[in-house]
Structure 1
Amino acid sequence: MARIKSWEELTIQDNFLFQKVMNNKRLCKYLIEKILNIRIHDITYPDSEKTIDIRMDSKSVRLDVYVTDELGRVYDIEIQCTNDPNGGLAKRTRYYQAMIDMDVLEKGSDYEELKPSYIIFICTFDAFHQGKPIYTFRNLCLEDSSLDMGDEATKIFLNSKGHSNSLDPDIAAFLRYVDGNAVEGAFVHELDMEVQRIKRHDETRREYMTLAMELRRQNKEGYKAGKEAGKKEGLVEGKTSTALEMLQDGVPIETIAKYTKLSVEYITKLSKAHNLI
């Protein structure tokens, strides 16, 4: 269970603070432009914290920074501090992409109207262990890598530990800042000023403290529920062990059920599984 940080400990690496900083439209727009090497006239925030929940039986997605531009292009930006050695991070971008597309289609659009989308993960680790500061993925033909499928879906992973002499200076300074290094350059200086401004904002501090209290409550309840479940599981295991011993001693199933409080059906299956009938 991850420790919940105090307000004073928060940095740009923390989702709550990162999201607040990216609510500064000018800074968010500039970061997207620099990462993708494109020009954007304007961006809008459909929701301050976009949650996509297509069906009641599907897993909902909460997107930290979800913006669109004047051409309808969609950008999802996430800060990631924990890697998944089993490829979970990459699979998450696949799921995010599907949910974003379904969200657009749910509004009545046809699939031909889907606009270019960019899922950008800013990582404090090297997700692909190649030392690159940026990894960009698109759907290309294996037989001819110059052939782009044209679905206009792009996934980008930034690596705060990566380095390249050809990297844009502002992005290089940004990645070093995310990695906990000193402020460098005008853009990162503005980012850091925004971080400090937000941390001086009493209302935002209270918002985080309320969130932290709720998370601690949920964690406590989850721990308690898990502990109780463990006790129940251990109790059943103990009764099962006792029932097996009684079966081996030839005690009738009905008698075993009476004293262990296990069902006759369960004990019968247990005896068959261990060839005791």
Structure 2
Amino acid sequence: MEIRDLLFSEHPMFDRVMEERTDLCQRLLETVLGMPIAKVSNVVAERTLQPRIGAHGVRLDVMARTSGAVYDVEMQTYSREGLGKRMRYYQGAMDTAMLTPGVSYDNLPNSFIIFICLQDEFGAGLPVYTFDMRCEENDGVELGHGFIWSVLNVSAWEKLPAGQLRGLLRYIATDDAGDDGLAADIAVAVAAANADGLWKEGALAMLTIEEDMRAQGRLLQKAGWEKGLAEGRAAGMAEGRAVGMAEGKAEGRAEGRAEGRAEGLAEAGALIASLMDAGRFEDARRAATDADYREELLRGLGQS
């Protein structure tokens, strides 16, 4: 049986693309931060930092360095409690690793911690949350601390204006690069990695059952979205012959997106997520690949 492809958001793929393609890593950082940065000279995936012997260590998904700054980029595919304190600990671990004994604090490089989250971790509906330290009594007072934390909410990509950040988050959410240059280049790198069958098999084995099931649910959602989009386009083109081809295509695309999202969410959300929450991982795995069994389970949910 042919094994599935990995998504960019899955950590083995994310790590590989960012580490092998430092140019894409740099473009991603510039897109997220909204500013140019110096050339990325070093990217290390799964970098382990331990502030001191016996202390709790951290493993960074992707750590990148430029001549004057250090960047940590984390891909988070499901919600975890305590994100704020987690970022605080990551910051401390990074700072400790950057400063050797006897060196002035002025030598600490600027640092940026970026979490790309598939869900909204703070519930405010924002696509981007940026955290910086400010004086509560006077906004004009600069602390000069030299770090910024950013949390991206991929699920709210549609709230962003047209541009590369919207295109990037849209690609992560839907696996559809569209006409965005950065997303398209990442998609090419992802396809090349998936073509490496030996690596792909090993990478899939690295995923936990929960991670794999969540990805299977997202693939089902994408399949539903694409099916609905195709059907909507066909319906729109048929109607467009009567009312005008351009109007028909536009309406068909809109109907396709709506229908596809509804179908995908019904399958991936109502079934895969509920099975996983119930700890029924084997059922979830079978439902992800067996259409008849999936329909049987969906009928069962409808009767309950």
**SS in structure 2 at match of 1:158:** strand
Does the Cα contact within 8 Å between 1:42 and 1:69 map onto a contact in 2?
yes
Structure 1 residue 163, shift from structure 2 partner: 4.3
2:21 aligned with 1:21: no
2:120 aligned with 1:126: yes
Structure 1 residue 117, shift from structure 2 partner: 0.2
**SS in structure 1 at match of 2:89:** helix
User: What's 1:158 paired with?
Assistant: 152
Of residues 191-200 and 50-59 in structure 1, the stretch that sits farther from structure 2 once superposed is 50-59
- The correspondence of residues 1-277 of structure 1 with structure 2, limited to 5 A, is 8-23=4-19, 24-45=21-42, 47-71=44-68, 73-84=69-80, 86=81, 88-106=82-100, 109-163=103-157, 167=161, 169-184=163-178, 185-208=180-203, 211=206
Does the Cα contact within 8 Å between 2:49 and 2:93 map onto a contact in 1?
yes
Structure 1 residue 34, shift from structure 2 partner: 1.5
For 2:35 and 2:138, how far apart are their aligned partners in 1? 26
For 1:108 and 1:35, how far apart are their aligned partners in 2? 34
Structure 1 residue 37, shift from structure 2 partner: 2.0
| TM-score (norm: length of structure 1) | 0.68
Does the Cα contact within 8 Å between 2:5 and 2:200 map onto a contact in 1?
no
Structure 1 residue 42, shift from structure 2 partner: 1.1
Structure 1 unpaired stretches of 5+: 1-5, 217-277
Structure number with larger C-alpha Rg = 1
Does the Cα contact within 8 Å between 1:122 and 1:158 map onto a contact in 2?
yes
Q: Percent identity?
A: 28
Relative to structure 1, is the Cα distance of residues 141 and 56 closer, same or farther in structure 2, using a 3 angstrom cutoff?
same
Of residues 91-100 and 126-135 in structure 1, the stretch that sits farther from structure 2 once superposed is 126-135
Larger helix fraction of residues: 2
**SS in structure 1 at match of 2:56:** coil
For 1:54 and 1:46, how far apart are their aligned partners in 2? 20
Does the Cα contact within 8 Å between 2:45 and 2:60 map onto a contact in 1?
no
Query: Structure 1: which amino acid aligns with 2:98?
Result: V
For 1:200 and 1:108, how far apart are their aligned partners in 2? 49
For 2:190 and 2:157, how far apart are their aligned partners in 1? 24
For 2:148 and 2:49, how far apart are their aligned partners in 1? 19
Structure 1 residue 134, shift from structure 2 partner: 1.0
Alpha-carbon RMSD:
2.3
Relative to structure 1, is the Cα distance of residues 35 and 70 closer, same or farther in structure 2, using a 3 angstrom cutoff?
same
Structure 1 residue 121, shift from structure 2 partner: 0.2
Of residues 158-167 and 37-46 in structure 1, the stretch that sits farther from structure 2 once superposed is 158-167
Relative to structure 1, is the Cα distance of residues 209 and 35 closer, same or farther in structure 2, using a 3 angstrom cutoff?
closer
Does the Cα contact within 8 Å between 1:136 and 1:156 map onto a contact in 2?
yes
For 1:175 and 1:113, how far apart are their aligned partners in 2? 34
**SS in structure 2 at match of 1:49:** strand
Can you list the C-alpha shifts for 1:84-142, whole angstroms capped at 9, x where unaligned? 3x5x1111110000000011124763322111100000010111222211111111111
Query: Structure 2: which amino acid aligns with 1:12?
Result: F
For 1:61 and 1:79, how far apart are their aligned partners in 2? 14
Does the Cα contact within 8 Å between 2:118 and 2:153 map onto a contact in 1?
yes
Structure 1 residue 61, shift from structure 2 partner: 0.9
For 2:44 and 2:33, how far apart are their aligned partners in 1? 22
**SS in structure 1 at match of 2:169:** helix
Relative to structure 1, is the Cα distance of residues 145 and 16 closer, same or farther in structure 2, using a 3 angstrom cutoff?
same
Structure 1 residue 148, shift from structure 2 partner: 3.2
| TM-score (norm: length of structure 2) | 0.62
Alignment length (residue pairs): 206
**SS in structure 1 at match of 2:64:** strand
Which aligned segments of 4 or more residues in structure 1 are displaced greater than 6 angstroms?
none
Does the Cα contact within 8 Å between 1:132 and 1:164 map onto a contact in 2?
no
Query: Structure 2: which amino acid aligns with 1:205?
Result: K
